[in-house]
Amino acid sequence: MKIDYKETTSDLLARINIHEKYGTRNIDDWMIETLPLKEGMHILDVGCGAGKQCFSYFDTLHGRASIVGGDISDELLAKAREENKRRGTDIFFTELNFNKPFAFEDNSFDLASCSFAIYYAENIPFTIKEMHRVLKPGGYLFTTGPMPENKKVFYDIVKEATGKVIPPMPGSSRYSTEILGAVKSLFSHTDLIIFENPLTFPEADPFLIYTRASLSEDRKLWTSFFDSKDEFETVMDKIRTVAENRIQKDGKIVMTKVVGGILAKK
Ligand SMILES: C[S@@+](CC[C@H](N)C(=O)[O-])C[C@H]1O[C@@H](n2cnc3c(N)ncnc32)[C@H](O)[C@@H]1O
């Protein structure tokens, strides 16, 4: 499956910011509670983006771990390295394309994680196999991704505004099926843990900021949705109308993020 997807720094950071401001729960805290983190671990974070999870692991382990973050985006890696420097931390950020063999030895990591990225892989079993290969025996794989019921309100509003059928998303349509299946087939033990985070928007503006940061990427995947840049703005205007009507009627929009965490042992 060829996926033409490239995250931009501003869109990713805009969504992270909205989650932090309007969410009730913190996904980083949930990940830290869920993960079997121990000082001295050798950790690889695949699709690390601007380094969010790497910094969270580093802080939790008080820097007593060797952490590698790999991503395909030079822009996001530059952001991660800048933050690494600002914090004075020694996380190693490196270029990594998860569609190609990883430049790491077999059996070298205690934990290989991949948050909100694995579903962009062209060949899921290949990427999972690479993560399995670089893990030590007894090492853990952890991935996160959207479940089918993730942010239903968002899709309902887009659907109401456009009158169009929402194309299947590479994440939510495959995460709990194809991706979970690929992990189960390779690892000795696999658990699926669910995280729910309701985001409450008291007004339309932050919901629209989230929508723009989400749709400007989705539009590359939803080729049936937007033909031109103008059409994107027209769609955004229609979404604003529907969102404002909902706020007027209910006083808020509650969009629940439903995330699956796959934790597996080699
Ligand atoms: C939604 S972002 C998640 C980033 C980070 N894990 C986080 O949660 O903030 C998806 C990430 O996958 C990365 N990505 C997409 N295709 C990739 C590939 N072929 N190899 C490695 N990383 C890739 C993107 O550059 C982006 O950083």
Q: What is the pLDDT of residues 128-146, one digit of tens each?
A: 999 999 999 999 999 999 9
| Whether the predicted pLDDT of 248 surpasses 90 | yes
Q: To test the ligand 1 pocket, which listed residue (116, 169, 259) has its Cβ within 8 A of the most ligand atoms?
A: 116
pLDDT of 1: 45
Q: To test the ligand 1 pocket, which listed residue (4, 6, 12) has its Cβ within 8 A of the most ligand atoms?
A: 12
Q: Measured in angstroms, how far is the CA atom of residue 34 from the centroid of ligand 1?
A: 21
**How far is 219 from 113, CA to CA, in rounded Å?**
27
pLDDT tens digits along 190-209: 999 999 999 999 999 999 99
pLDDT tens digits along 53-111: 999 999 999 999 999 999 999 999 999 999 999 999 999 999 999 999 999 999 999 99
- Number of C-beta neighbours around residue 149 at 10 A: 13
Nearest CA to ligand 1 atom 14: 47
Nearest CA to ligand 1 atom 26: 49
Give the number of the atom of ligand 1 that is nearest the alpha carbon of residue 114: 6
Q: To test the ligand 1 pocket, which listed residue (8, 11, 72, 74) has its Cβ within 8 A of the most ligand atoms?
A: 72
Nearest CA to ligand 1 atom 17: 72
Q: 165: which residues sit within 8 A by CB, 6+ positions away?
A: 159
pLDDT of 14: 87
What confidence category does residue 223 fall into, taking pLDDT thresholds of 50, 70 and 90? Answer: low
180 lines ligand 1 (CB under 6 A): no
Q: Measured in angstroms, how far is the CA atom of residue 71 from the centroid of ligand 1?
A: 6
Fold of 9-150+169-198+258-265: Rossmann fold (3.40.50)
pLDDT of 229: 61
What confidence category does residue 4 fall into, taking pLDDT thresholds of 50, 70 and 90? Answer: very low
Report the half-sphere exposure of 218 (CA within 13 A, side-chain side).
21
**Which comes out higher in pLDDT, residue 225 or 191?**
191
Dihedral sign for Cα atoms in the order 44, 133, 29, 203? positive
Where helices occur in 88-228 by DSSP H, the ranges are: 124-134, 152-162, 180-186, 204-221
Residues in the chain, total? 266
pLDDT tens digits along 7-54: 567 888 888 899 999 999 999 999 999 999 999 999 999 999 999 999
**How far is 59 from 55, CA to CA, in rounded Å?**
6
66 lines ligand 1 (CB under 6 A): no
| Whether the predicted pLDDT of 3 surpasses 70 | no
51 lines ligand 1 (CB under 6 A): no
pLDDT of 38: 97
Where are the domains positioned within the chain? 9-150+169-198+258-265
Q: Measured in angstroms, how far is the CA atom of residue 248 from the centroid of ligand 1?
A: 36
Nearest CA to ligand 1 atom 4: 49
